[in-house]
Amino acid sequence: MYARLIGTGSALPQTEVTNDALAQRLAQDGIETNDEWIRTRTGIEARFLADASLGEGTTQLAVLAAERALAAAELTPADIDLIICATTTPDQIFPSTACQVQAKLGAAGGAAFDVQAVCAGFLYALNVADSMLTSGKFKRALVIGAETLSRVLDWKDRSTCVLFGDGAGAVVLEASDDAGILACKTYADGRLGTDVLGLTGHLDNGVLAGDPFIRMDGRQVFKCAVEGLSTSGKAVCDEVGVDPSDVALFVPHQANLRIMTMVAKKLGIDMDKMAKTVACHGNTSAASVPLALDVAVRAGNVNKGELILLQGVGAGMAWGSCLLRY
């Protein structure tokens, strides 16, 4: 029994903000940055930012992405008995984003819950969905990554605020005898904790306690990301007995083009096979992998029967890789 990928979808907020436009906005608060710095250090050229006044938020983006994935799979919400949503930026603490998505889709009755593994969230959600489908207990799953990280960025901290964007991506997985997910591995090292990448803000007796913004040691994250993605990518390929160069589509977490390029080189994967939506989306955290996957699938960059390698890494530190046959 396999969990087979049968549909993808994604959604972005309406407002695109280029590096130049962002630099102009930040300059109004006396923060200096420029397109050249952002592009050469990260590969990012623009990002999409959610606007609450337009009704945009994590749940709304998740629902749109899910509807598009269901349409691609030629299914209706009633066909789904499991919804897992990876998010670090839910619109509210509870009920979960997955339950809200279930309600908005009209898919009540199945299981629905969120997974919180920050930028590695989609890989963790995929691993959980794979286990639940191959156990025989569930038939069809919607696995979603959705984020509005723009709400937790310190717009006065130029070392973080230029990196992120908002969005959502979703996949439909079906329990099947035909090949799908071949290997999925997730890891964490909690010792590389809040000091490396964290957001400590929380509610305490009706008031906000801690720091409400993302804080990051960029160089540490860089090193952990390259190491975690390279070793986990190799581990799933070894488990299946294929060489990473056999992969037809490589979708690493879209955080930084320099990280992605180093990982592709270490794995021996041709750069032409790598999804590179980080340029136009920025880092959308748990949404980045399903968003980039959907763009690649819709562009015809992978054919049925070919191998896809998906990878996530984020705060925790947490990371993982998934090798699947499309």
- What is the binding site for ligand ACO (CB under 6 A)? 33, 37-38, 41-42, 119, 158-159, 162-163, 197, 216, 218-219, 221-222, 225, 253, 255-256, 283, 313-314
Question: DSSP class of residue 302?
Answer: S
* Shortest reach from residue 317's CB to ligand ACO, in Å: 8
Nearest residue to ligand ACO, by Cβ distance, number only: 218
Distance of CA 18 to the CA centre of its chain: 21
Q: In 3-state terms, what secondary structure has residue 96?
A: coil
Scored b (16 or more CB within 10 A) or e, 42-68 reads bbbbbbbbbeeeeebbbbbbbbbbbbb
> Per the residue annotation, which of 119, 224, 237, 322 is the catalytic one?
119
* Shortest reach from residue 191's CB to ligand ACO, in Å: 17
> Per the residue annotation, which of 253, 256, 281, 301 is the catalytic one?
253
Closest CA to 167 of 269, 50, 315, 265: 50
* Shortest reach from residue 160's CB to ligand ACO, in Å: 8
* Shortest reach from residue 256's CB to ligand ACO, in Å: 4
Of 30 and 109, which has the nearer Cβ to ligand ACO? 30
> Per the residue annotation, which of 127, 256, 283, 301 is the catalytic one?
283
Of 139 and 266, which has the nearer Cβ to ligand ACO? 266
- Between the CA of residue 55 and those of 3, 20, 89, 142, 205, what are the distances in Å? 34, 26, 16, 23, 28
Of 133 and 221, which has the nearer Cβ to ligand ACO? 221
* Shortest reach from residue 26's CB to ligand ACO, in Å: 8
Asked if residue 8 lies in contact with residue 73, where contact means CB atoms within 8 angstroms, the answer is no
Closest CA to 280 of 12, 44, 25: 44
Asked if residue 30 lies in contact with residue 162, where contact means CB atoms within 8 angstroms, the answer is no
Of 44 and 101, which has the nearer Cβ to ligand ACO? 44
- Who's near 147: CB < 8 A, 6+ residues apart? 58, 87, 88, 89, 166, 167, 168, 284, 285, 286, 287
Query: How far apart are alpha carbons 227 and 100 in whole angstroms?
Result: 36
Of 87 and 100, which has the nearer Cβ to ligand ACO? 87
Catalytic residue check, 127? no
* Shortest reach from residue 214's CB to ligand ACO, in Å: 8
E strands, 121-238, are: 140-148, 166-176, 181-188, 197-198, 202-204, 207-209, 215-216
Q: In 3-state terms, what secondary structure has residue 192?
A: coil
Query: How far apart are alpha carbons 6 and 141 in whole angstroms?
Result: 10
* Catalytic annotation, residues: 119, 253, 283
